[in-house]
Every structure is written in C-alpha cells, then in structure tokens.
Amino acid sequence: MTVPTVAREERPAPATDGDRPTVLDVRGLWKVFGQRAGRVVGTSLATLDRAELKRTTGCVAAVRDVSFSVRRGEVFVVMGLSGSGKSTLVRCLNRLIEPTAGQVLLDGEDVLGYAGKRLRELRRHRFGMVFQHFGLLPHRRVLDNVAFGLEIRGVKKADRMARAQEVLELVGLAGFEGSYPDQLSGGMQQRVGLARALAVDPEVLFFDEPFSALDPLIRREMQNEVIRLHHEVGKTMIFITHDLSEALKLGDRILIMRDGALVQMGTPDEVVGAPADDYVRDFVSDVPRSDVLTLRWIMRDATPDDPLDGPELGADTVIRDAVRTVLSAQRPVKVVRDGDLLGVVTAVEVLEVIAGAGGQS
C-alpha cells in the first residue's frame, strides 16, 4: 500500500487550531437501533459493549457517544471498517437517520431540533451528499440529474440548467449532458453524483464511501479530482471511507471509529505516528511511515556535539521529501519552525524509519 502524494503540495496548508471557525460541532452523538432504543443512552446500559448490549436489550449501538468538530474548509475523514458505524454517523448529521441522542450544531444551531420544512431547507441549501452507489435517476439525462437538487428547490428551469452545465464542466463531464446514467462508466456516474451535490452550492459536503465501488485506477483519479475541487471551491467536506490510504491522502484530520465509538482523532501524521491503541496501531502498521510522518516525529534534540551549520528543513516536511537532503548532508539537518530550532535529524533517524524500525514517539 502506497500513499501517493501527488497532489499534497497543491492543497491549502493544513488548518491549524483557531485560525478557522468551526462549522459543524457534534456533541455526544448516539444512534441505537432497536425497540425502545431511547432507554439505553444515559443509563448504565450505555457502558456495556456492543455484544453485551445486543444480548441484554436486543438493541444495537451503531454510534456511541461521538463528539468532534469540523472547521470551515477542512476535509474531515471518518474512517473505520464496515460495521464500525461510520455510515450511520454521517447519516445522522443530515438526519437521513435520526440520532438517538446528542447534538449536531451547524454554526452553533442544533439541527436535531429541525423538522419538516426547516429540515428540508437545511438539506436543500446547506448540505450536499455523495453516495457510494451514486443514487442517480436512471430516467433522467445527466444534465437533469445534476439539476435535480435545484429543481426540487424550485429554481427556474433556465437558471438551473445553466448552473448544472457550469458544474458539469467543473467535474469534467462537458459533452455528456444528454447522456443517461447507464450509458456512463462508474467513475463518470460518480462525477454526476458529485456534480449534483455541488450544484446546490452547499456549505458542507458529505461523502459516503464514494469511491469504494470504483476500480483502483478510477478511484485514484477521483481522489485527485476531489482534492482539485477542494482546492477550487474550498468546501467543508466530511468524507467517509474504509480505506486508510484514502483517508491519509485526503484528510486534514481523521477520525477513526470502531464498534460505533471514536478511537482516535488527529492529523494523518498523528494517527500514524502516535496510534491511540493497538487497534489503530495494527491498522497503520502497513503504512510506509516515511510517506506520512514529518521530521517533527523523528528529530532529536540537538546535543552540544552537533555541528549546527547543516541545511535547514521545516518541521512539517514529510520524511520522504527530506531523505535526499539528510543523506547528502555531511552534518545533522536542522529542523526549524518559524526560525526556531526544534531539533536535528541525521541519516540514522531517517534510515531507521525507512527500514521500518523505531520512529515512534
């Protein structure tokens, strides 16, 4: 498994805490399936693990007390194996599935209180979603499919067609307006799905394993497409996947779920560099660490013996990109941030990572 880094450089610099406002704030979210599910949350039952809960109450807790917040313009990835509750989680956010307990604050307002028209308005204007199985309307042309969201919003025909055309060009489907979905390949169909979600110009885009059904080459192409679009339109995106490499490639931050609960949340290098438990560690064990970790994770403090006249590299430089510099330098490489010296890196540390030994914090 390799982690392609083709487009990483093109992306906006990772957001740091505080410099962007929070768009979506999820607090203590629960989803319990089963009869009288409401009695589970807030009682001692909530502490039982999944199997135990199923045995005693017949209920299944798909999402257990998950909290996180997403900042404007961020790509937030929720990752987990199938059955981990990630798809349920994202459906709780736009209420395709009704959460059992918790809060989903959009710009500070709890959307769980919305009903009827307000909920529809929320979905029509502020959220967009892309699905694993596309969910296109086979009886409509591509252009009509893209315009569908605008149509149900009541946008005039000429306006919505113009907008749909614009978005189709954005996703690279110009020329296919008159085709029907089943005349397109899977990847192209998903571009239609993407265009449909973008057409309504939502504030937040949800992706539910959008590329799982595509073959690997197309999948990579579509991932790059998402990165490009994110670059161009700068939407806040919540992206569900079971594919770690996809998560690492796309995510500004990654939330890892297991059995409905949050296991770890952090930037890709945090997840790889500091797995929260054995589950995550096992998960990331195959990842070529030099492709994800930055120098910050392998630098050591400078000792008085170190000559400090070597080259300088930023602390956020990915190891792989630093290899050539470090190995060709005769002296330790200085790791700096904002001009401050944080530590040094030598061939020893780099080679340890590449050889797969050590490197953890």
Partner 1 sequence: MVAVSAPVTRRLPSRSYITGAVLLAWIALWVFLNGRDTLPLGGAQLTPLHTRFGEGADVIDANRDSNPVFLYFVNYIRLFIDATVTSVQALISRPSFGRPVPLAGWLGVTGVATAIAYLYGNRKVAVLTAAGFVSFGLLGLWEESMDTLALTLTAVALSLAVGIPLGVWAGLSDRFNRIVTPVLDFMQTMPTFVYLAPLTLFFLIGPASATAATMIYAIPPAIRLTAHGIRQTPPATLEAAEALGVTGGQALRKVRLPLAKQTIVVGINQTIMAALSMATIAALIDAPGLGKTVLKALQTLDVGTAFNAGLAIVIMAIVLDRVTSAASRRVEIAHRTGRSGRRRLRRVETAVTAVVAVVLVYLSYTYVWAAEFPAGADVGSYVRRGADAASGWAQETLVAYTNGLKNAITYALLNPFEALLAHSPWWLVAVVAVALALLLAGVRASITAAVGCVLLVALGLWHDSMVTLATTLVATLLVMVLGVVLGVWMGRSDRVDRILRPVLDAGQTMPAFVYLVPILGLFGATRFTAIIAAVVFAAPVSVKLVAEGIRGVPHTAVEAATAGGASTWQLISKVQLPMARAGITLAASQGLIYVLSMVVVGGLVGAGALGYDVVAGFSQYQLRGKGLAAGLAIVVLGIVLDRIMRAAAARAGGSSATR
* Interacting residues with partner 1 (CB under 8 A): 94, 96, 119-125, 127-129, 131-141, 148-149, 151-153, 178, 180, 182-183, 193, 196, 200, 206
On whether the CB atoms of residues 81 and 243 are closer than 8 A, the answer is no
Closest CA to 80 of 257, 280, 263: 257
Min dist CB 239 to partner 1, Å, is: 15
Looking at residue 258, its amino acid is: R
Min dist CB 67 to partner 1, Å, is: 23
When the beta carbons of 183 and 285 are compared against partner 1, the nearer one is 183
When the beta carbons of 120 and 331 are compared against partner 1, the nearer one is 120
When the beta carbons of 181 and 359 are compared against partner 1, the nearer one is 181
Min dist CB 176 to partner 1, Å, is: 13
End-to-end alpha-carbon separation of the chain, Å?
23
When the beta carbons of 64 and 196 are compared against partner 1, the nearer one is 196
CA–CA separation, 210 vs 236, rounded Å? 16
Min dist CB 229 to partner 1, Å, is: 18
CA–CA separation, 344 vs 325, rounded Å? 13
When the beta carbons of 55 and 117 are compared against partner 1, the nearer one is 117
Closest CA to 71 of 149, 12, 124: 12
Min dist CB 130 to partner 1, Å, is: 9
When the beta carbons of 40 and 93 are compared against partner 1, the nearer one is 93
CA–CA separation, 2 vs 164, rounded Å? 36
CA–CA separation, 152 vs 147, rounded Å? 9
Q: How many CA atoms lie within 13 A of 85 on its CB side?
A: 26
On whether the CB atoms of residues 257 and 79 are closer than 8 A, the answer is yes
Min dist CB 129 to partner 1, Å, is: 4
On whether the CB atoms of residues 106 and 126 are closer than 8 A, the answer is yes
When the beta carbons of 74 and 208 are compared against partner 1, the nearer one is 208
Min dist CB 312 to partner 1, Å, is: 48
When the beta carbons of 102 and 149 are compared against partner 1, the nearer one is 149
Closest CA to 134 of 198, 210, 218: 210
- Write the burial class of residue 144 (CB in 10 Å: 0-12 exposed, 13-18 middle, 19+ buried): middle
Min dist CB 94 to partner 1, Å, is: 6
List Cα–Cα distances, 351 to 193, 346, 356, 358, 359, in angstroms.
Answer: 44, 9, 8, 10, 10
CA–CA separation, 280 vs 89, rounded Å? 19
